Amino acid sequence: MKRNRSWWLVTLLTLLALVAAGCGDDDDGDVATEDTTEETTEDTTDDAEEDDAEGDDMASGDGAALIEESETLSAIVEAGSITIGTKFDQPLFGQVDPTAGGEPVGFDVEIAKLIVDKLSEASGEDISIEFVETPSAIRETAITDGTVEMVAATYTINDARKELIAFAGPYYVAGQDIMVAADDDSITGVEDLAGKTVCSVQGSTSIENLREMAPEAELVEYDVYSKCADDLANGRVDAVSTDNVILVGLIDAEGDSFKLVDNPFTEEPYGIGVPLEDQAMRDFVNDALEEIFESGEWAEAYEATVGTVAESTPEPPEVDRY
């Protein structure tokens, strides 16, 4: 009888824990291929120099010319509204409050708004934004079939996608990072994982990266990240490692008990997806991104979203006009 009671207690507590942990794991399959990353860095240098030659005063004059040249942008200005695809379930990047609903909030959303601000400025029209949900699998389709004019949705720039759509940016470089207990200062990077117990998801690129880059670490693998978080909370693993974007989401959900090491060891550039043939729109978005990098608006957007969980604000990446 006594046993009976304690089982109920355990069951009840576990149910509570489940409810508490339930909402946080969106395992986004955004994985950059390594060759993409390399290519990105190479190209950037040339183009950045070109830009300097063109002059720093990228004023609304140039913007207006680009709008005229771009089919998509002129249509947006004419209609006075733009439809932008973003994630609705990615904490701190693009997330609609699961209980309250409403507009999505996050870093992707802020960046999109800033770009549209530049568009309003350059065209002299007040352009309103409609956000629609674009989960990973449908992002290319949404752009090619015209459902959205632009996508800002933790969208990794890679070669396969460049065949279908064009990327402006990157505006953020994500990467695999490490999450530890809030009071743990012994791990500051991937090299400190030797001899530690590290958790990630079965069959993920993250766990393969760990096997390669932290061969001395003892790996623990589950089917979902929330179980890794549970083990970390109970002190059964020393660290959890995967894309920082997923980690900040877990930290955001968990409150103060975890922290991000904030020293990524792989690179995954996030870009703004625009229609493939619209070179002028891509140039416009790239110009807008460079402007917000310069003006500090980018850093403000970062600090208001991802920065609430990650400690340091990184330098903005260099735009890649491939």
Partner 1 sequence: MDLFLDGIRTTVSLTLYGWLGAFAIGLVIASFRVSPVPPLRWAGATYVELVRNCPLTVLFFLFWFGLPNAGVQFPRFPSAVIVLALYTGAFVAEAIRSGINTVATGQAEAARSLGLTFGQVLGQVVLPQALRSVVAPLGNVFIALIKNSSIAYTISIVELTGQAQTLAIRSAAAIPVFTGAAIAYLILTLPSGFAIGWLERRVAIKR
The contact set with partner 1 (CB under 8 A) reads: 1-4, 6-7, 9-11, 13-14, 16-17, 199, 202-203, 208, 220-223, 227, 230, 234, 236
Q: How far is the CB of 218 from partner 1 (least distance, A)?
A: 10
Q: How far is the CB of 17 from partner 1 (least distance, A)?
A: 6
d(CA 151, CA 156): 11
Phi-psi region of 257 (alpha: psi -120 to 50; beta: other; left: phi over 0): alpha
16 vs 79, beta carbon nearer partner 1: 16
14 vs 188, beta carbon nearer partner 1: 14
Q: How far is the CB of 176 from partner 1 (least distance, A)?
A: 17
Size of the chain in residues: 322
Q: How far is the CB of 193 from partner 1 (least distance, A)?
A: 16
Tell me the helix, strand and coil percentages in the chain, rounded to 5: 50, 20, 30
Report yes or no: 180 and 258 within 8 Å, Cβ to Cβ. yes
65 vs 181, beta carbon nearer partner 1: 181
Rg (CA), the chain: 21
Residue 170 CB-density burial (10 A; 0-12 exposed, 13-18 middle, 19+ buried): buried
Phi/psi of residue 184, nearest 5 degrees = -100, 115
- Assign 222 to helix, strand or coil: strand
Q: How far is the CB of 255 from partner 1 (least distance, A)?
A: 16
Residue 31 CB-density burial (10 A; 0-12 exposed, 13-18 middle, 19+ buried): middle
2 vs 34, beta carbon nearer partner 1: 2
41 vs 236, beta carbon nearer partner 1: 236
Q: How far is the CB of 257 from partner 1 (least distance, A)?
A: 13
Q: How far is the CB of 207 from partner 1 (least distance, A)?
A: 9
92 vs 250, beta carbon nearer partner 1: 250
Return all residues near 263 (Cβ < 8 A) that are at least 6 apart. Answer: 177, 178, 188, 189, 190
117 vs 221, beta carbon nearer partner 1: 221
> Which of the 8 DSSP states describes residue 156?
B
